[in-house]
Amino acid sequence: MGRRSRRRNREDASKAAAEKRPGRPLPDGQRMARVNIEASLWEQFLLASAAADRSVADYLGHLVRKELRRVARREWRAEALAPTLIEKPQVVTAGADTQDEVM
């Protein structure tokens, strides 16, 4: 058995192992994220998602969409309430080059 055949066997074995991994693949266009949170808060979140009769993944997705809507509203409000920029009026000199000539 040569080096090439050993490499090919390892590649075949890794492909077979990848196909046998548990879990379901994500639908196209969806992403997965890890959550870094204390155990007690995670337990409360699990209870909240169960009370809402949603899976944890669905409930997290709902919270992400809700947060993005909130951010968009905040940005829109900041733009709507921002004072409009008014240009500083320029001094009319009636053809004079310096302010001394105007006065």
Q: How many helices (H) and strands (E) does the chain have?
A: 4, 0
pLDDT at residue 38 in the model:
95
* Residue ranges covered by each domain of the chain: 55-82
Predicted confidence at residue 34, as pLDDT, reads 85
| Predicted pLDDT of residue 100 | 63
Mean pLDDT, contiguous 10-residue spans, the chain (103 residues): 72 64 73 88 93 91 93 88 67 65 58
Instruction: Report pLDDT for 11.
Output: 74
Q: What contacts 56, CB < 8 A, 6 or more positions away?
A: 45, 46, 49
